[in-house]
Amino acid sequence: MEVLIPIITMGALSFLFSFGLVFAYKKLKVEEDPKIEEVSEMLPQANCGACGYSGCRAFAEAVVRGDAAANGCPVGGEEVANKVAEALGIKAGEVIKKVVRVLCRGTQDAAKNRGVYLGISTCYASHLIGGNKQCSYGCLSYGDCVRVCPFDALYMGEAGLPVVMEEKCTACGKCVDACPRNLLELHPISQEIFVFCHSLDRGPTARKVCKNACIACGICVRACPEAIVLENNLAKILDYKKIDPETIPDIEKCPTGAIGRLRKDDEG
Amino acid sequence: MELLALFISAILVNNFVLYYFLGICPFLGVSKKIDSAFSMGLAVTFVMTITAVFSWLINHLILIPYGLDYLQIVSFILVIASLVQLVEMFIRKISPPLYQALGIYLPLITTNCAIMGLALIAVLNNYSFVETVIFGVGSGLGFTLAIVLMAGIREELDLADVPEPLKGAGIALIVAGIMALAFNGFLGMIK
C-alpha cells in the first residue's frame, strides 16, 4: 500500500497537467500549412543539420516556402527528394537561385564625402554618426558586408562599392542584415534590371550629393508604367516580370544611371 | 516590510543570475538584443511566478501531508515542463516573430536551473505562500533586470574594439563576471 500513494499522486498530477495542456493546445493551436507536416514526415528525422537548416522540421518549412530545393536533404538522397517533390508538385532540383545585389552606385567619384571620418572603420559606426558621405542613404564603403560573408563572396571594389561574386554567393542573407543602410537585397540570379539607389532625397538634393542618385525624374516610369512607379522621390520596380524587354533601352535612358541593367564587370 | 525586503533582495541582492549563477544559458544566449532579452525576461518571470505558486501548493497540500517530500524534484519538474509548454504555445500564437527570436531558448526554460532553483530555495527557506509568490516575482524581475542590462552592454560592445580572441562568448563572460562583482556590492544592503 505504501507504494501506491506516490504512484497515485504523481499519476494524478501528471493527468491533471496534461489535461490542462490539451485544453490549452485546443485554444492556442496555430494553423499552419499542412504540407509542412506532410513533408516533415517524409524526411529521415535525423535532425542532423546537413541541409543547412536547424533540423528536419525547419528544412520542411523552407521547402514548402520555396527557399530550399526538394533535393536539399543529403541524408534522404534521391528517394526522399522525389517523394517531397511529388508531394509539392515541383521538380526535385527546381529552385530559383538567388544572389545578393548591391543597390547603390555611390562610388567614390560619384558620391561626395561629408568630411574626413576618423572613427572606427565599420559601416555601422559611421552610420551611427550620420555616415561619412553626404548622401545619407548610400554605401559607406567600410565593408561590413564583406567581413560578415562566410563564403568570401563579396569584396570591396576599387570604386568603393562591394562587388558580388555570383558563383560563391549562397544567398544566406548575412550581408543583408549587416548593412546598416539596407542596401543589399536578395534577387533571382536572372534579374537584370535594378534601381541602384535608395535615396529618398528630393531630386536637386540627391543630385548634389551623388552623381548617380535617383532624382525621381520619371523617365523610367514613362518607359514602363506597368512595372515601375515613383515612391518617396525614388523609382521602384513593382514587378520585375512585367518589364517588357523592348522597353529596357528606354529605361536605360536614365540621366543618372540609377536604374538599368546590372554592369556584369564591376557589379558581379 | 519584511515582504518588501524579500522582494528587493530577490531582485538585487540574491539575483539569480549574478549571485546564485543560475540560468546562465539564456542569460548568455538571448542577450544580444534588448527587445528579445526583455521578452525572454518576461517569459521567465511568468514561468517563475506560476511555478512558485504551483510548487508551493503541491508541496504543502499534497507532498508534505502524505509524507512524499522525496518527490519534490520530480513534481516540480512536472510543473515547470507543463508551464513552459503553455508559454511556448501562447507566444507562438500571439507573436510568431518573438517565437522565432527566442528560438531554442524558449523550450530550454524547462531545463533552466533558475526555475528549479527557485522552487527548491523557496522550500529550503520554509517560505509561506505569500513569501513564495513575492520571491518568485522578484526573482523573475531580477533575471529580467540582469538580462536586459547584459543585452544593453552587448549592443554597445558591437562598437567596442574587442581583441580578436575575446570576441563573442569570451567578452560576454567577462562582462557577466564584472556585472556579478558589481551586484555583489548590494550584499550589505539586506541581512
**What pLDDT is stored for residue A133 in this prediction?**
87
Count how many domains chain A has. 2
Give one DSSP letter per residue of B95-124, joined into a string: -HHHHHHHGGGTGGGGG-HHHHHHHHHHHH
Neighbours of B70 (CB within 10 A): 9
Q: Is the pLDDT of residue B188 over 90?
A: no
Computed over every residue of chain B, the mean pLDDT equals 87
Q: Which of B62, B63, B82 is opposite residue A20, by nearest beta carbon?
A: B82
B70: closest CA of chain A, how far (Å): 10
Paired with A133 in beta bridges are: A113
Tens-digit pLDDT profile for residues B112-152: 888 999 999 999 998 999 999 999 999 999 999 999 999 99
Rounded Cα distance between B28 and B35, Å, is 14
| B111 vs B172, higher pLDDT | B172
Residue A28 touches partner B, C-beta closer than 8 Å: yes
- DSSP character at residue A112: P
Spatial distance between the Cα atoms of B106 and B88, rounded to a whole number of angstroms: 7
pLDDT surpassing 80 at residue A38: yes
Looking at the structure, do residues A55 and A182 belong to the same domain, yes or no? no
For B10-45, the pLDDT digits (tens) are 888 888 898 888 888 888 888 888 888 888 898 889
A71, A201: one domain: no
Interface pTM, i.e. ipTM: 0.71
- A8 reaches B (C-beta below 8 A): no
Minimum Cα–Cα distance from B55: chain A residue: A13
Domain boundary among A88, A122, A151: A88
Chain B residues inside the 8 Å CB shell of A62: none
Hey, are the CB atoms on B159 and A10 less than 8 Å from each other? no
Same domain, A60 and A123: no
Q: Could you give the CA distance from residue B16 to residue B112 in angstroms, rounded to a whole number?
A: 11
pLDDT in tens, A91-116: 655 556 778 889 998 888 888 888 88
Q: What is the pLDDT of residue A94?
A: 54
How far apart are the CA of A86 and the nearest CA of chain B, in angstroms?
Answer: 29
- The answer as to whether A20 is a domain residue is no
Q: Does residue A108 sit in the same domain as residue A81?
A: no
The DSSP secondary structure of B129-164, one letter per residue, reads HHHHHHHHHHHHHHHHHHHHHHHHHHHHHTTS---G
d(CA A165, CA A153): 5
CATH number for the domain spanning A58: value is 1.10.15.40
Gap between the Cα atoms of B174 and B191, Å rounded? 28
Instruction: Note whether A259 and A214 are within 8 A (CB).
Output: yes
Answer yes or no: pTM beyond 0.80. Answer: no
Residue percentage of chain B with pLDDT more than 90: 25
Whether residue A58 has pLDDT greater than 80: yes
The CA-based angle A23-A24-A26, given to 5 degrees, is 65
pLDDT at residue B149, as a whole number: 94
Cell of A151: 563564403
Q: For residue B43, what pLDDT is reported? A: 86
CB–CB contact A6 B68 (8 Å):
yes
Of A44-48, A157-161, B150-154, least confident by mean pLDDT is A44-48
At B181, is the pLDDT very low, low, confident or very high (cuts 50, 70, 90)?
A: very high
Of the candidates B58, B71, B158, the beta carbon closest to that of A6 is on B71
User: How many contacts (CB atoms, under 8 Å) link A and B?
Assistant: 48
> Which residue range forms the structural domain that includes residue A84?
34-88
**Whether the Cβ atoms of residue B168 and residue B87 lie closer than 8 Å to each other:** no
Contacts of A120 in chain B (CB under 8 A): 159, 161
- Answer whether A9 touches B (CB < 8 Å): yes
Which chain B residue's Cα is nearest to A9?
A: B62
Instruction: Tell how far CA A258 is from the center of its chain.
Output: 21
pLDDT for A4-25, tens place per residue?
Answer: 888 888 899 899 999 999 998 8
Q: Give the one of A13, A24, A124 whose C-beta lies nearest to B78's C-beta.
A: A13
Average pLDDT over every residue of A26-36: 78
- Cβ A125–B79 below 8 Å, yes or no? no
Which residues in chain A are contacts of B71 at CB distance < 8 A? 6, 9-10
Write out the E strands in chain B.
none
Q: A247 and A117 in one domain?
A: yes
Examine the fold and report which residue of A67, A88, A109 is the final residue of a domain before the chain moves on: A88
Distance CA B50, CA B81 (A): 12
Between B168 and B182, the more confident residue is B182
pLDDT band at residue B158 under the 50/70/90 scheme: confident
Q: What is the pLDDT of residues A174-222, one digit of tens each?
A: 888 889 998 998 888 888 888 899 988 888 888 888 888 898 888 888 8
Asked if A13 and B58 count as a contact pair (C-beta separation under 8 A), the reply is yes
Tell whether A5 is covered by a domain: no
The residue assigned the cell 529596357 is A248
Mean pLDDT of B168-182: 90
Same-domain check for residues A198 and A161:
yes
A165 and A81 both lie in a single domain:
no
H/E element, A19: helix A4-28
Asked whether the predicted pLDDT for residue A171 surpasses 80, the reply is no
Considering the domain architecture, whether residues A118 and A176 belong to the same structural domain is answered as: yes
**Residue A22 in domain:** no
Q: CATH number of the domain that A211 lies in? A: 3.30.70.20
Q: Quickly count: other Cβ atoms within 10 Å of residue A121's Cβ.
A: 14
Query: Cα(B173)–Cα(B169) distance, rounded to whole angstroms?
Result: 6
Distance CA A225, CA A197 (A): 19
Same domain as A80, residue A210: no
Residue A9 lies in a domain: no
Pick A10's closest partner by Cβ from B74, B96, B158: B74
Residues A112 and A146 in one domain: yes
Q: Residue A112 — φ and ψ, nearest 5°?
A: -80, 150
Q: How far apart are CA B58 and CA A14, in angstroms?
A: 12
Q: For A125-147, b where at least 16 C-beta lie within 10 A, e where not — what string?
A: bbbeeebbbbbbbbbbbbbbbbe
Question: Do A47 and A105 belong together in one domain?
Answer: no
Q: Clarify whether residues A238 and A172 are in a common domain.
A: yes
